[in-house]
């Protein structure tokens, strides 16, 4: 790796420093880091750092190529954690905030020697235009997904909100059972249903979800020659789905 370019120049806690490399792999000059934490020997400072967290490279400085030691982001954090200087912790926090800001904006200007103000402005404009195109593409993709999903959403809402109800007998047959009583007993074993005053009902924790309704009807009492009123539970579309989810 040669002539690593500056990603960003910053002033942190009164000290100027440069971040090199790119957004994915920012690099830090070991000699700068040593100066931050008042370490007299950068080479000695990085001696205990893993090989994949440091590297030798070249930068262009004052018109000359200079061999330098870089620390990766992880290498920087490792050095700062090893330091006993109080300022090391502050620098670590500050660097993290700076990198987060750079990555959030998604663009940067790598300054090159000889760049004019117009060069920098031109590159800044290209970056801005690229970000706008990316955003427009994301918005367009999301809108297309919404358009494709809309019929499914409308169908789902329509079905779950419909006024249709189903008897336990019908749902039992859909689930491969022979009669409603078989379904009721299974739900009782699962702690979902119970029987009171002749009516099967949902237990309290399953109420309030729109799974069932109570219906009242009259039947003839031929013995006493009168009509009797009975109340029974029916299932909504939402309740039907609930039962299918349980047993399938």
Return the pLDDT at 142.
Answer: 75
pTM: 0.41
Return the pLDDT at 183.
Answer: 92
Which parts of the chain have pLDDT scores under 50? 1, 108-110, 155, 159-160
Q: How many whole angstroms separate alpha carbon 165 and alpha carbon 217?
A: 15
Return the pLDDT at 162.
Answer: 52
Return the pLDDT at 134.
Answer: 67
Among the listed residues 54, 5, 8, 7, the one whose alpha carbon sits nearest the alpha carbon of residue 34: 54
Q: How many whole angstroms separate alpha carbon 159 and alpha carbon 162?
A: 5
Tens-digit pLDDT profile for residues 27-43: 999 998 998 888 889 88
Return the pLDDT at 173.
Answer: 92
**10 phi, psi to nearest 5 deg:** -135, 165
37-62 burial string, b = 16+ CB within 10 Å, else e?
A: bebeebeebbeebeeebbbebebeee
Q: How many whole angstroms separate alpha carbon 100 and alpha carbon 123?
A: 21
| Contact between 96 and 72 (Cβ < 8 Å) | no
Q: Calculate the alpha carbon distances from 100 to 15, 23, 27, 229, 236 in Å.
A: 19, 10, 15, 70, 50
Rounded to 5, what percent of the chain is helix, strand, coil?
50, 25, 25
Return the pLDDT at 16.
Answer: 79
Return the pLDDT at 124.
Answer: 58
Tens-digit pLDDT profile for residues 48-74: 888 889 988 887 777 777 888 999 989
User: What is the helix (H) or strand (E) element at residue 47, kind and residue range?
Assistant: none
């Amino acid at each position: 790796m040669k002539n690593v370019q500056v990603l960003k120049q910053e002033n942190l806690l009164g000290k100027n420093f440069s971040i090199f490399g790119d957004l994915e792999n920012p690099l830090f000059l070991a000699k700068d880091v040593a100066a931050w934490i008042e370490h007299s020997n950068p080479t000695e400072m990085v001696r205990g750092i893993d090989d994949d967290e440091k590297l030798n490279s070249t930068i262009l400085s004052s018109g000359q190529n200079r061999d330098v030691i870089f620390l990766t982001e992880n290498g920087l954090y490792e050095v700062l954690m090893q330091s006993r200087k109080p300022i090391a912790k502050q620098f670590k926090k500050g660097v993290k905030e700076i990198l987060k800001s750079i990555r959030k904006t998604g663009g940067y200007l790598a300054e090159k020697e000889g760049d004019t103000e117009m060069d920098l402005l031109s590159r800044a404009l290209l970056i801005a235009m690229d970000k706008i195109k990316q955003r427009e593409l994301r918005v367009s993709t999301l809108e297309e997904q919404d358009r494709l999903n809309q019929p499914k959403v409308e169908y789902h809402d329509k079905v779950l909100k419909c006024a249709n109800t189903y008897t336990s007998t019908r749902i039992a047959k859909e689930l491969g059972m022979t009669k409603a009583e078989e379904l009721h007993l299974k739900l009782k074993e699962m702690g979902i249903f119970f029987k009171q005053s002749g009516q099967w009902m949902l237990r309290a924790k399953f109420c309030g979800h729109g799974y069932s309704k109570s219906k009242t009807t009259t039947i003839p009492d031929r013995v006493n020659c009168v009509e009797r009123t009975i109340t029974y539970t029916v299932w909504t579309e939402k309740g039907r789905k609930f039962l299918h989810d349980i047993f399938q």
